[in-house]
A = this chain, B = another copy of it.
Amino acid sequence: MKNLIIASTSTLHGSGYLEYLLGTLETHFNEFDEVLFIPYARPGGISYDSYTAIANKAFNKIGKSIKGIHEFNDPQKAIAQAKGLFTGGGNTFVLVNKLYKNKILDSIREAINSGTPYLGTSAGSNICGLTMNTTNDMPIIYPPSFKTLGVVPFNINPHYLDPDPNSKHMGETRETRIKEFHAFNTQPVIGLREGSWIEVKNGNLMLKGKQDARIFENNKEPYEIKTNSNLNFLN
């Protein structure tokens, strides 16, 4: 049975890396001491080693350690043998490109489907959706495809931002962008505000965290859903 935490962000304003999630992660990765980290999204272009060190420092606070997938010769085997998986945020295009190059999308999907606990933040959450078409990231690399894991039956929009009524900037609001997405695609999109996450456990999809979420279904007006709501109806 799938066991996922799909978080909008790794970090809340004024708080440390993963700090708001540590209690939840202690339970989520309860049974194992070591989690395999996928640092491919490289936020700010940092190295895999530097990024892994940041994740490790946070996990040490709950008595666990992190090992980067780049430390293994065979990434497919590393995933198959991992007791827990964490894909960090950064740039979704960079992440997805590397997942395809290393041919490990199928490995991650299989691990998730067989019950390996998974944590995604930001870009690492985007890839849980059907496609990466609703990422906010700049397309700094051309990946072989926008298709992602599809371990939830919708798309994710992390770091969801409400329109600023005082803005004089003419770039599209997040809501406009997702409406444009639905001019070409039909799957629902969850606008996941910072501080929220989707928990997939025991066959249920639940919205968790401090914020409500905004749901975009094709040919419907967008609407709000309260935290702690069940999301099973979305597919």
Residues of A in contact with B (beta carbons under 8 Å apart): 9, 11-14, 42-45, 90-91, 93-94, 132-142, 145-146, 159, 161, 168-172, 176-185, 194
User: Do A135 and B136 touch (CB < 8 A)?
Assistant: no
Contacts of A185 in B (CB 8 A): 140
Q: How many copies does the complex hold?
A: 2
| B140, B145, B161, B169: the one within 8 Å of A133 (CB) | B140
Q: Which residue of B lies closest to A195 (CB)?
A: B170
Q: Are A170 and B13 in contact (CB under 8 A)?
A: yes
What are the residues of chain B within 8 A of A42 when measuring CB–CB? 180, 183
In the complex, the answer to whether A138 meets B134 with C-beta atoms within 8 Å is yes
Specify the chain B residue showing the minimal Cβ separation from A157: B138
Cβ contacts under 8 Å, A44 to chain B: 176, 179-180, 183
Q: Please, which residues of chain B bring their CB within 8 A of the CB of A194?
A: 169-170
Q: Which 4 A-B pairs have the closest CB atoms?
A: A45-B183, A13-B168, A159-B171, A138-B177
Closest to A183 in B: B45
Residues of B within 8 A of A140 (CB): 133-134, 177, 180-181, 183-185
Q: A45-B179, A133-B139 are in contact. List 13 more A-B contacts (CB 8 A).
A: A13-B168, A45-B183, A136-B138, A136-B171, A138-B172, A140-B177, A140-B183, A141-B184, A142-B146, A159-B170, A161-B171, A169-B194, A170-B194
A112 to chain B, nearest CB (A): 23
CB closest residue in chain B, given A159: B171
